[in-house]
Structure 1
Amino acid sequence: MLISLKGIDINFERLGSGKPVLILHGWGCSADTMRAVANYIAAVGREAVLLDFPGHGKSGKLSKPWGVDEYAELTEEFIERQKLRGCDALCHSFGARIAILLAAKDPGIFGKLIFTGAAGIRPKRGLKYYVKVYCFKLARTLSKVKFLDKLFRLTEKSGNAGSADYRALSGVMKTTFVKVVNKDLAPLLKNIGNETLLIWGSEDRETPLYMAKRMEREIKNSGLALIEGAGHFCFLDDYRRFCSIIKVMLEG
């Protein structure tokens, strides 16, 4: 389905029935990346609501660079238009940036929060490192989703895949990427009062474990679950373990 928000066609789906869970995907991904988890949520009696952010998946492109604030405003409008206020939210990486900004400003917009590989804390390493490494690791991980195998094979052939992928972005999305990564949301963590579950892969290199531990310290009502051996996409690396963890949160 499509809905027009901020002049952009936004692709979204609603699966199952019951109290809704809004699923916010990571940067460079789409709703399809989290479809398996969404199907599980629908199977256990909850409604899974997925959307593609602008510039991602089947949604329209940006005409000018955005930052986290603009993405958050669009998400807030989506929640209002779809009557989702008070829904639980499952957020991966970039999606957690959006949820942090919204929950810190308006505690009632969400119920429970589940963050996995959540971004938002400015990394110790510089932006150049993440530009070179993140995009390649993203493609490698997404190769686990069958229909994205071709993307990985093409990316892997490049001698410097991360930089090549970054160069392939449009000028608008390059600037957007830089704006997003440079925004430090750490000062907002203390303002989040929602019950929050942090799920992290022990081998996550994109949002390292020290970020999870800081979030656990600063978000008042939070707890951390670690998935051993998993990386930034722990919901793909160990799908069964991930689902068993969120089941407790969703049913509690």
Structure 2
Amino acid sequence: MEHGYVHVEKKGHGPAVVLLHGWGQNLYMMKFLQDHLQNQFTVFNLDLPGFGKSEEPLHCWSVDEYAQFLHCLLEEEGVKNPILIAHSFGARIAICYAARYPCKKLILTGAAGLLPKRGITYYLKVSMYKLCKKLSINLTMGSEDYQKASSVMRGVLVKAVNENLESLLPRIRCDTLLVWGEKDEQTPLWMGKRMEQLLPHASLIVFKKEGHFAYFYQSLRFQRIVDAFLEGEV
């Protein structure tokens, strides 16, 4: 799959582990985990296309196109049946990848991929935005992530947030660990519980009083959980 420069850090020896960060982040967010796992695994930590030091996609990729990109990248490295560890937007990619290609194990934390429950306020805002656009009135709308993004990455974000990956979950056959923050506002806990129901071989662990970046702020605890889940894979 054609793409620009991708910044990848590869460390260690052993079975392949791939780390996928969330939207607006970069490989730094997973560096603690790479440093921890590299003694037993070959760990690939990358800036996803459009983030960090990696170039943007050549057009507005869908999540599935990110998954195809990842497959091509791993094929070039001779990697089959990887272990994927992913957060938020990265988890969207991991879900698409695992539904399409073989995976040894999957760890998803604060995973995006389900459509949020939207109330009347959301639809009123959308209607107002469409009206103002029709009347040629400039109105700034959209999340902070949307406002900060380039035109290509805005397109990627819009595609991603409007795509429901629920139907892919039953197709994922590998053992899956879900780690969630109890107070996650970006991907609420009900999403983790729903994923646990739909994934054939999944378990959910909840970090009390933590939010969307629970894995990062509770990094030592997260490492211990990852170690336990990956025991026997070396």
Q: Could you tell me the TM-score, scaled by structure 1's length?
A: 0.79
Partner Cα separation in structure 2 for residue 200 and residue 93 of structure 1: 10
Alignment of 1:116-131 (within 5 A): 116-125=109-118
Structure 1: 5+ residue runs without aligned partners? 130-159
Structure 1 residues 70 and 214, CA gap change in structure 2 (3 angstroms): same
Alignment partner, residue 12 of structure 1: 8
Alignment partner, residue 183 of structure 2: 203
Alignment partner, residue 210 of structure 2: 230
The offset of 1:243, in angstroms, is 0.9
* Partner SS state of residue 5, structure 2: strand
Between 60-69 and 183-192, the greater mean CA deviation after superposition: 60-69
Partner Cα separation in structure 2 for residue 75 and residue 125 of structure 1: 31
Partner Cα separation in structure 2 for residue 249 and residue 100 of structure 1: 18
- Which residue identity does 1:6 align to in structure 2? E
Root-mean-square deviation (CA, aligned residues, Å) is: 2.0
* Partner SS state of residue 107, structure 2: strand
Structure 1 residues 233 and 170, CA gap change in structure 2 (3 angstroms): same
Alignment partner, residue 185 of structure 1: 165
Q: Which has the larger helix fraction?
A: 1
Alignment partner, residue 148 of structure 1: none
* Partner SS state of residue 85, structure 2: strand
The offset of 1:168, in angstroms, is 2.9
Alignment partner, residue 226 of structure 2: 246
Partner Cα separation in structure 2 for residue 188 and residue 163 of structure 1: 26
Partner Cα separation in structure 1 for residue 147 and residue 110 of structure 2: 25
The question of whether the paired residues in 1 share the 8 Å contact of 2:183 and 2:209 is answered with yes
The offset of 1:167, in angstroms, is 2.2
**Quick check: 1:28 aligned with 2:24?**
yes
Structure 2: 5+ residue runs without aligned partners? 123-139
Partner Cα separation in structure 2 for residue 16 and residue 208 of structure 1: 34
Partner Cα separation in structure 1 for residue 219 and residue 90 of structure 2: 19
Partner Cα separation in structure 2 for residue 92 and residue 168 of structure 1: 20
Question: In structure 2, which of residues 98, 105, 116 is the aligned counterpart of residue 103 of structure 1?
Answer: 98
Moved beyond 3 Å, runs of 4+: 162-165
**Taking every aligned residue pair, what percent have the same amino acid on both sides?**
41
Partner Cα separation in structure 2 for residue 98 and residue 220 of structure 1: 18
* Partner SS state of residue 177, structure 2: strand
* Partner SS state of residue 113, structure 1: strand
Partner Cα separation in structure 2 for residue 90 and residue 165 of structure 1: 22
Structure 1 residues 28 and 218, CA gap change in structure 2 (3 angstroms): same
Q: Could you tell me the TM-score, scaled by structure 2's length?
A: 0.85
The question of whether the paired residues in 2 share the 8 Å contact of 1:37 and 1:235 is answered with no
Alignment partner, residue 46 of structure 2: 51
The offset of 1:165, in angstroms, is 5.0
The question of whether the paired residues in 1 share the 8 Å contact of 2:5 and 2:55 is answered with yes
Provide the aligned length of Structure 1 versus Structure 2: 214
